A and B are shown apart, each in its own frame.
Chain A
Amino acid sequence: GAVVSQHPSRVICKSGTSVKIECRSLDFQATTMFWYRQFPKKSLMLMATSNEGSKATYEQGVEKDKFLINHASLTLSTLTVTSAHPEDSSFYICSASTLRGTEAFFGQGTRLTVV
């Protein structure tokens, strides 16, 4: 299957700082990327959907000014957690799919810890 690389796999940051997470499709063009987060002992929850070259669509309850998503190219989407707080500590995972594809390919996830 296609490969999606997510970086970093783990990050620890201080409260109030911003953190950027990258999601790259290595061997295909990802017209659509999805960002999920998972709290401990909870399900993965969709945060937002981004299509290349357009603004991301956020799920209800997700602050778009806090979780900035950029999908400027067909192989890269970034999620920036701005002014991070301890409650933002979570597991973030991206997935990517092609224009006509029915399968989404997942990155390995990023464990964010805000101290």
Chain B
Amino acid sequence: GNSVTQMEGPVTLSEEAFLTINCTYTATGYPSLFWYVQYPGEGLQLLLKATKADDKGSNKGFEATYRKETTSFHLEKGSVQVSDSAVYFCALTMNYGGSQGNLIFGKGTKLSVKP
């Protein structure tokens, strides 16, 4: 079946460090891929998405590229800030057009950024 695997946390970085959170997927077909972020005490928020191979999603300095050949969608940021401390979820959907109805999530990766 379809699934998402993301790196286990927690990840602890110093401010201005480079961030990579790995995400790979298994899917029978052509999924749309997403990264969600959950700040403490808040709901999940869509961070970025990509709906087809080689698309790059970007937002707030974060980027992820849909790599069909490696079935990956790794999240990167060049210089993290304390305010980026949160839990990050990688997800996919097989819904047409990438509508986020039936999402399959990874386990989440907790990021802590120290000043």
Whether the Cβ atoms of B100 and A95 lie closer than 8 Å is yes
In this complex, the member of A32, A45, A102, A105 whose beta carbon has the largest number of chain B beta carbons within 10 angstroms is A102
Instruction: Indicate if A101 sits at the interface (CB-CB under 8 A).
Output: yes
In this complex, the member of B4, B43, B46 whose beta carbon has the largest number of chain A beta carbons within 10 angstroms is B43
Which residues 29-45 of B sit at the A interface, judged by CB distance below 8 A? 36, 41-45
9 CB-based A-B contacts, threshold 8 Å? A42-B107, A43-B104, A43-B107, A46-B104, A93-B44, A97-B101, A102-B98, A108-B41, A109-B43
Q: Shortest CB–CB separation between residue B100 and chain A, in angstroms?
A: 4
Which residues 41-95 of B sit at the A interface, judged by CB distance below 8 A? 41-46, 89
User: With A and B bound together, what is the CA distance between A104 and B107 in angstroms?
Assistant: 19
Which residues 33-54 of A sit at the B interface, judged by CB distance below 8 A? 34, 36, 38, 41-46, 49
* Given contacts A43-B106, A44-B89, A44-B105, A101 and B99 within 8 Å (CB-CB): yes
Q: Shortest CB–CB separation between residue A34 and chain B, in angstroms?
A: 7
Q: Which residue of B lies closest to A109 (CB)?
A: B43
Instruction: Indicate if B97 sits at the interface (CB-CB under 8 A).
Output: yes
Which chain B positions have C-beta within 8 A of A97? 99-101
Which chain B positions have C-beta within 8 A of A46? 102-104
By a beta-carbon cutoff of 8 Å, the part of chain A in contact with chain B is 1, 4, 6, 9, 32, 34, 36, 38, 41-46, 49, 93, 95, 97, 101-109
By a beta-carbon cutoff of 8 Å, the part of chain B in contact with chain A is 4, 36, 41-46, 89, 97-108
Known: A34-B103, A44-B89. 16 other contacts (CB 8 A): A6-B43, A36-B103, A36-B105, A41-B107, A43-B4, A43-B104, A44-B108, A46-B102, A46-B103, A46-B104, A102-B97, A104-B100, A106-B44, A107-B43, A108-B43, A109-B43
Which chain B positions have C-beta within 8 A of A4? 43
Which chain B positions have C-beta within 8 A of A109? 43
User: With A and B bound together, what is the CA distance between A42 and B106 in angstroms?
Assistant: 8
User: With A and B bound together, what is the CA distance between A102 and B93 in angstroms?
Assistant: 11
User: With A and B bound together, what is the CA distance between A4 and B45 in angstroms?
Assistant: 11
User: With A and B bound together, what is the CA distance between A87 and B46 in angstroms?
Assistant: 30
Q: Which residue of B lies closest to A6 (CB)?
A: B43
